[in-house]
Amino acid sequence: EEPWLVFSGDSLLIGDVGRPDLHVTGDAQGQARLLYASLQRLLELPDHVVLYPSHYGGSVCGRGLSGNPISSIGFERGHNPLLAITDPDAFAKALVAGMPPPPVEQQRIVAANRSGFVGASA
């Protein structure tokens, strides 16, 4: 059966890709190379596949994100500048360059995500 949609999570965003520095500290270059490999797998999907990312415009999880909540693999392949980079090391260097600092609460957010914390205790 032909795929028709993908939930890309924090990897492929609309107009950008996820940040490699938010969930693992101290190895942004290595995490960026892993992200590159994940993106290459997503790019194996047909152009018509609808893309639903976890974040869009207004999120600190990417730079220059579109406010549109959906896209397609084909549109991102043709318009997302980071997807045009074909070398993993060049991709990592471009992604990490000029990256803003993580949000102040990032470590608390990561800890809550990993523990399954869903709200204030009663």
Predicted pLDDT of residue 8: 96
Q: How many CB atoms lie within 10 A of CB 109?
A: 15
| pLDDT at position 121 over 60 | no
Predicted pLDDT of residue 105: 83
35-63 pLDDT, tens per residue? 999 999 999 999 999 999 998 776 767 77
**What is the C-alpha end-to-end distance of the chain, expressed in Å?**
47
64-120 pLDDT, tens per residue? 788 889 999 999 999 999 999 999 999 999 999 988 888 788 788 778 878 886 665
Q: How many CB atoms lie within 10 A of CB 7?
A: 10
DSSP string, 26-67: T-HHHHHHHHHHHHHHHTTS-TT-EEEES--TT-TTSSS--S
Determine the CATH number of domain 5-115. 3.60.15.10
Predicted pLDDT of residue 119: 66
For the chain, the domains span 5-115
Predicted pLDDT of residue 122: 47
Q: How many CB atoms lie within 10 A of CB 3?
A: 12
